[in-house]
Structure 1
Amino acid sequence: MHCVGICGSDVHYLTHGQIGEYQLQDPMVIGHEASGIVYKVGAKVKHLKVGDRVAIEPGVPCRQCTYCKTGRYNLCRQIYFCATPPDDGNLTRFYRHAADFCHKLPDNVSLEEGALLEPLSVGVHACRRAGITLGSKVLITGAGPIGLVTLLTAKALGASKVVITDIMQHKLETAKNMGADASVLIEKDVSLEETSAKILELLGGDMPDKTIDCSGIEATIKLGMLVSKLLPVESERQTGVQECN
């Protein structure tokens, strides 16, 4: 192993001992945002060799259920997911993983960048589900790591304006440096209606086409519902508010 990120879920297991139905019963190794260098391969592995630099996709599904066979293997009920009880993560010196879920890195991608591919994939998935495209006006609530990779993805997909919110000004400054068109500091004593009005002003009076929540806080989800443009729901891609998980 070379680089392993510390996710909010890792911290949550440390401080609370559970997330939803997943509860720690025994000690668990954390870490699921990782890259490493191949040390050994099985006899049937053909696409990797010792010394290859890889990014690790942390969820290994059963490959046989309906979800797996229709391309939505992230929903597999039998998935092994690093650092989700009872499955250990990869914050270790050596870690064994399914070869088809180890992705060889191009020479121009560092191992540090490789470890960021897992959180980046969250932003890519959310933006694709939301249908962000050329000219989209997007609100992102939360300027932590997931909010920032979602910002990068939205701009890469052609969003014309991205407004991002957070409760910490220094995070908003980072977001601006990474391409956010505008930012809004969420203040404790300011109502959702006032915050909504500020967002609309920053978007030239228009509602955001899409809102992606990257905080998981009830208030920001309400904000997204309050401020986002209502669209006819004909498919999962046309709902106004997406949440990053």
Structure 2
Amino acid sequence: MLEAVERTLARKAELYRMVMPGHVCPWGLKAKHLLESQGYTVVDHHLTTRQETDAFKDRNNVATTPQAYVNGQRIGGYDDLKRFFGKTVRSAGETSYIPVVALFGMTALAAAALSMATMGSAFTVHAAEWFIGLSMVVLAMLKLQDVEKFSAMFLNYDLLSKRWVPYASLYPFLEGAAGVLMLSDRLTWLSVPVALFIGVEGAVSVFKAVYLDRRELKCACVGGSSNVPLGFVSLTENLMMIAMALWMGRTFFS
């Protein structure tokens, strides 16, 4: 019993975080939860005014809050706590495939769910078609959130955009429209040529930039604010559009 009490006392942390009437610091809440999840008893100090927060930072020579102390030793903010507990902390601007994995994972699950609901099986030809169509729509939506940023990044490598700049801003609208038409199985005579054109042109542009010119660029495939490296992912996006266009064109024009 005494040993258990001693262990509890040894795992003690103090946390200073902003808890104001109009603002509760989210990173402070995360830091508190992290400490408690690691078995620490947290002495939670609330900084309830801007003046109190500034005074705390000046007194302790720190630039931000929250600030955590473990057994009297200052660890720092939320990211510092994560490092202290051996957890991964992504650096600012670090490249990551997480957005792409999340996007394709969710569109694959959505396509499987639609197939299950309408056909009784998640593994059908329609599920594969819906997966590509949904992926095109979601990718277009991400680009359309900030067309200016997307087009600026796209112009770094897209061959047609470099010759005719408006194409960079037009691209997400074309991709989205083609995806919607493919999902609806309507106006195939229009959606197939559009998807085939932007897919082939995009694949050639990416292949040249990455595999011939050996340039290290960020991919605009998931929007202009992404940190996804240009290469396999963007090439896959374009090859998917080409495959979908050829498949639907084969059944429609035959």
Whether TM exceeds 0.5 here: the answer is no
Query: Which is strand-richer, 1 or 2?
Result: 1
Give the number of the structure whose alpha-carbon radius of gyration is greater. 2
The two structures have a TM-score, normalised by structure 2, of 0.24
Query: Which is helix-richer, 1 or 2?
Result: 2
The two structures have a TM-score, normalised by structure 1, of 0.25
